[in-house]
Structure 1
Amino acid sequence: MIHANETEALPCAGGCGLFGTRRNNNLCSLCYKKSVLEQLATLKLESKPEPSTVPTRSPTVAVQEPVRKQRCETCHRKLGVTGFSCRCGHMFCGPHRYPEEHSCPFDYKQSGRLALAKQLPLTRADKLHTPSVSN
């Protein structure tokens, strides 16, 4: 149950000029997020504690990495939904999607030969022995 005191808008304790809540330690959402990230960074830097000193309950905070925009490997244009992935493992825009346009190092001939070798097994017939004709 949320009390009225918990949702009361107070000036941010971080001094940014925004309003914070008691639920966020009197911090605004931006300063609270920064403080949580700093706490996570200090936890990562600390060495692992011994198993006997590990607290039984630790608060879990979901922190997501910022999503990096996909860019064309040739012209560095933002791709969005229209990016094309090549067999060489890179993403390209429409004009650079063809292997000739981005100097693709992938060997298409060899991959085609291997695919055909798997699909079409080698079939050899036994040698035919013709009976010798004697007159």
Structure 2
Amino acid sequence: MNANETEALPCARGCGLFGTRQNNNLCSLCYKESVLQQAAKVRLEPKTETETERSPVCPQATTTSPVAAKEPVGVKRRCETCQRKVGVLGFKCRCGHMFCGSHRYPEEHSCAFDHKQSGRLSLAKQLPLIRTDKLQRL
């Protein structure tokens, strides 16, 4: 490595930290953010910016919190039938509710979701009906 590559320069985004030439004159936090943004553009997936937090070290860098996007903080997960706390072990049914281990089956919580019909529809999509034309008898 040359002395020019490790020379500390002010961050190009102006966050107040020092960057290096290896990181395109960006500090490590801003460089990481720029790499993540480029990767998101390559994947062609929309990036949600609804729940971003500013880094206390680098005010220009933003990070998304995957835990906050899934569930709001302070909501206790309870069984819809018996109101028992299910914690991490909760079972989510297709009807959209959370249940404990004893009420996880559709028969136990009188599920409104039609499992038979959804199974029939999925089989119909996977196995299309193939019919041939009748042969002409001579």
TM-score w.r.t. length of structure 1: 0.48
The higher radius of gyration belongs to: 1
TM-score w.r.t. length of structure 2: 0.47
State the structure with bigger RCO (CA 8 A, min sep 6), 1 or 2: 2
More strand by share: 2
